[in-house]
Structures are given as C-alpha cells and as structure tokens.
Structure 1
C-alpha cells in the first residue's frame, strides 16, 4: 500500500502511506497519487481533496535510492505517470486542493504547496527544497509558483539554499495559510475542507478556474524549463556525487567536481 484513499462529506482524503520510507515518492507512489487526483477530478461526488501523510513525515520527496537506480541503470522501468504525470495532474486538478503538512516535507513534499489552494502545517513540521544539495534543478513549477506565492527573495532562499524552513517561516512567507499544533492539524484541515465541500461543486470549480487560468501557460512553461534543466543535470557529476553520498551515508563533497559543476 502506497496511498490510502477515503471519502467523507464530499471530501476525498489522500494519505501518502510509505511511513517506513518517510512517504518518499517512488514510481508507484507517483502513479497512485496521480491516478487518485485524476479520479477525484472526474468523480461528481468529490468536491475537495485533502492531501496529507502518514507517520512522522509528510513526504521526504523523491526516493533517492530509486533516483540513483534511474540515473545509473539503463534497464530501470519507469511508472505509468511518474513525477511528470503527477505534476500534470496537479496543474489540471479543477477542484480545491487542501494540503496538511504533518511532518517533514522535502522536494515535492514542499513544492506541492505551490498547487495548494489552502495549506496547513504542523508546528513541528519543516520544509526543505534540496535541489542544490542534490546537484539538480527546481521542480513542480516551483521556479514560477514560489516567487508568486512568497516573493522573489524568499523563493530564492528556499530554492537556492537547500536549508530547512520552519512552520512559522513557511506561514510568514505565505507557503502555508495556517500553522496548527500537531494534534490539531488534521481536524483543522478537515474542518476547512468540509466547509468548502458543502458549497456547490460547480461554483468551486468556477472559482478555481478563474483564479488559475491566467497562470496555466506560465506554469507549464516553467515546468518544461525545469524538466529540461533537471534532465541535463541528473546523472551529472554533482548529482552522482550527491546520490553516492546519500547511499553511503555521508555528506556530499562538491569541491572536487570539474570546473563549472
């Protein structure tokens, strides 16, 4: 089981459910989450989707051990949707998306907030965009969505530094709407999701469409630029050093890379 799905009061709750791997996204979880969003978009009984994680993490981002295999194993079989398919599903999702960050969020566990209509975060949770520490580029249109959400300098720090961002910092920036005590997070997020779900679905869809439509082309262009940069850097000297360091349980050393890397 990689994803748990449940319905209540027209709210569909998706729980990332790989707690032993800190809910890191492997190809199976990317596929399951994309499929769940596509199904919720088409289901006339679903008004709102609430996304959260199980255990002590929201999501540790892409599964780095699997990423290492993808970068080094020509025979690796990718999923049906994968990372790009999940981003496409998020871009196109027509209904309100509520995200409840229950624990650490790295990579896509942080950048998914760019697609959240309402973001809630546990006061004990932290976020990190680890792209430069992995020798890769931004993802999930965060190079466009983060500056729009939090301003250029906050976005630059989040995307360039690969440093942790506390819940209070995330709220001050505008990455999340509310910070809650850990024991209150899901209740608070569900209360707001349920309130929205009591409204007419047609109106919810219309409001979201009119808010997001002016940005769709820019989001897709940002995603395409990021994907091209990511593909160029993945498997390069910096990325391979970062992945090898992760697999070996050590800190990466980028000082010995060729010039320009």
Structure 2
C-alpha cells in the first residue's frame, strides 16, 4: 500500500496501490497519515517526498468504496480516514515535497496545495472531477487553490472537471518545476536533499511561520466543504454519476 525509504534525511513515501491507480481507500488514508506522523517524529528525517507507483500519482478517493459506504452515515463523520489525513497534513511540521509521476485526480490533485514544493512529469495530468461527480471540492481546496493559483484558475480547476496538463499547472503556479518522466524523481530527490542538508529546526521554523496565517482559514474551509459534501453525497447528481461509473466499469470488464 505504501513503500517507504529514507536516505540523506529524506523520507520517500510512495503510494503503492497501483491496481487501483493509488486511489485512497480507508486503509491508505490511515497508512499515509501514520507514515507522515512517523516522519514528523523522526529526528533523522528532515524532508518528506510523496510520489506514486505505476502510471498514477493518486486517483483520489476510491469510488468503489464510496459506492459501498453506509448511506445513513454522513460522509465526513465516523472513521473516515480523510479527516484524519487532513489533520495530519495541516499539522505536518517539516518540508513536504510532491513528485507527480502520473495522473492526479481529486485528492491526488488537491493534496498538492499542502506541499511546499511540487515537481510534475511532462506526461502527468491533473483533474478535479467534483462537479462531474455531483459533489463539491474537498481538502480545503476552495481556500488553498485560490491562494496558490488565483481565483480564476482555481475556479476553472474546481468547476470544469477538465484535465490540466503539466505545462498549464506550471503556468498557474500549482507546480514548481516540470521534468521529463525519467528525470522527475532524481530532480525532486535532489532538491529535497538540498533542503534536508539544512538544520531541521530552521526548516520547521520557516514552515511554521509561513503556515501560521493560513491554518485557521484551512480548518474553516474544511468545515464548510464537509457540510456541503454531506449535503451532496448520495444526492441525485452524485447517485447518477456513481451509477454511470458502475455501468462503465461493468462494460469494460465484459
């Protein structure tokens, strides 16, 4: 589910659920949260790098698990690991680097707004398919994306459900550098190691100072988004979208 390695004070966490395009199910939410918390507490780790295995960075929330959920339980309540992962990302004290090796969908795109540096392969693409699923955005993206890429770029990303290329993501400021596929991980690791060579306490201080003005707004955005998701998940548009997803998957399996 995750592959975790450490070298030169850089902890690399690789989503390794390639059969599901590294989509988040409950187990992966919790495993990722645990891995980040372990890295935060490890005095020998200065920087964390997130990447994916196979042809995806992360395909977002596992739609099959969404289909199988108990409809009487609010989507954002209970043991849902998404909320736990959000809390971990908000509180994560060390530099977070993402290397987007393939497609990033939903949370696989919005999680990038929590990163301090984002590298993206020229062959990768991003998509926030919330409107096509009849739901609203998550991961505080309604606050973080306008802050990061500007209101109009954020509106297009979150409302259109269309794909964003690496070049478009770079122009918007959603990613920092675009690399050829074979160069992506070496380049991202190289920059991560350059950061990791600095004193950890200084890195933590810089990140804390940069994050402090935004934390309350991020938590407020999460609360607003959770309320909207609870209204829309299981609603008519979402039900139709998930039915179409099931029908397409069944047809493909034949």
**Distance in 2 between the 1:82 and 1:238 partners?**
24
SS at match of 2:88: helix
Partner of 2:188: 189
Contact 1:28 1:79 in 2 (8 A): no
What runs of 5+ residues in structure 1 fail to find an aligned partner? 251-261
2:169 paired with 1:170 = yes
**CA deviation profile, 1:158-216 (whole Å, cap 9, x unmatched):** 00000000000000000000000000000000000001001000000000000000100
Following superposition, the deviation at residue 72 of structure 1 comes to 4.3
**Where does 1:1-261 land on structure 2 (aligned, <5 Å)?**
2-70=1-69, 72=71, 82-249=81-248
SS at match of 1:5: strand
**Distance in 2 between the 1:86 and 1:178 partners?**
26
Residues 191/81 of structure 1: CA separation in 2 closer, same or farther (3 Å cut): farther
Contact 1:128 1:164 in 2 (8 A): yes
Contact 1:124 1:182 in 2 (8 A): yes
TM-score by length of 1: 0.92
TM-score by length of 2: 0.94
Following superposition, the deviation at residue 42 of structure 1 comes to 1.1
Tell me the number of residue pairs that the alignment of Structure 1 and Structure 2 aligns.
Answer: 247
Residues 79/195 of structure 1: CA separation in 2 closer, same or farther (3 Å cut): farther
Query: Aligned Cα RMSD in Å?
Result: 1.6
**Distance in 1 between the 2:14 and 2:22 partners?**
9
**Distance in 2 between the 1:102 and 1:227 partners?**
29
**Distance in 1 between the 2:70 and 2:211 partners?**
34
**Distance in 2 between the 1:123 and 1:28 partners?**
30
Following superposition, the deviation at residue 38 of structure 1 comes to 1.1
What runs of 5+ residues in structure 2 fail to find an aligned partner? 250-254
Runs of 4+ in 1 over 3 A off after TM superposition: 71-74, 78-81
SS at match of 2:69: helix
Following superposition, the deviation at residue 231 of structure 1 comes to 1.1
